[in-house]
Amino acid sequence: MKNQGKLIAIAGCMFSGKNRLAHNLVQNFKEQGLTSCFFKASCDQRGGKNIIIRGLGQVSATIIDDRNPEQILSHAQNEVIVIDEGQFFNQKIIGVLEELRKRGKIVVVIGLDTNFKGEPFHPMPEIIAIADERFFPQMARCAVCGQVASRTQKLNLDGTPAGHNSPLIDSGGEHSGDRYEPRCRSCYQPPQ
Ligand SMILES: [Zn+2]
């Protein structure tokens, strides 16, 4: 019987433990003799480059142009395909994920389910909708009060909340320093 593919979605706010959970899944698959390869969406259009994803066991990932997620198909040689920053891709990623699943791949997509405005961060909601397994880790703690955090607060450099017109995607992302922090619903300040 052909190996049955499946799609696993791991979603949440920043620092919620998504990558750590993905790392544990990858380790489990490895113990079953399944190898993984890693991809990361990039909006800076320097596609094809390899980078290191922290929190995923320092693995090397291939950067994929967010507008051309079908590039993943020609690189997906391993049994397990891990895709980080799923929210950055355009809607074409849905067809790519379905094709990978059809090919019998185990596909793990990691991404932010909401943006800093508290709105759905497309296409993650669509990816969650078609997933076979869904995980929503809750390890982020509110940077203000320490309660469980479910929101991503974007901050200006002076520490005030970023406005409604602030860009959704910064090239630096969560590695650009202290411009994002997890917050609970009470401490989260919607952008004005
Ligand atoms: Zn709080």
d(CA 31, CA 11): 24
- Residue 44 has what pLDDT? 56
Active site residue 85: yes
Judged against a pLDDT cut of 90, whether residue 167 lies above it is answered with no
Judged against a pLDDT cut of 80, whether residue 177 lies above it is answered with no
pLDDT band at 175 (very low <50, low <70, confident <90, very high): very low
Write out pLDDT tens, residues 67-78. 999 999 999 999
- Residue 58 has what pLDDT? 72
Taking Cα atoms as reference points, which of 71, 61, 76 lies closest to residue 22?
Answer: 61
pTM over 0.75: yes
Report yes or no: 19 and 119 within 8 Å, Cβ to Cβ: no
Q: Establish how many alpha carbons lie within 13 A of residue 71's alpha carbon, considering only the half-sphere containing its beta carbon.
A: 20
Of the candidates 31, 85, 119, 174, the residue annotated as catalytic is 85
Distance 5 CA to ligand 1 centre (A): 39
Query: For the chain, which residues make up each domain, given as ranges?
Result: 6-135
Distance 153 CA to ligand 1 centre (A): 11
Write out pLDDT tens, residues 124-164. 999 999 999 999 999 999 999 999 999 999 998 888 899 88
Percent of the chain with pLDDT over 90: 69
- Residue 24 has what pLDDT? 93
> Going by CATH, does the domain composed of 6-135 fall within 3.40.50.300?
yes
Write out pLDDT tens, residues 110-129. 999 999 999 999 999 999 99
d(CA 14, CA 112): 7
- Residue 1 has what pLDDT? 47
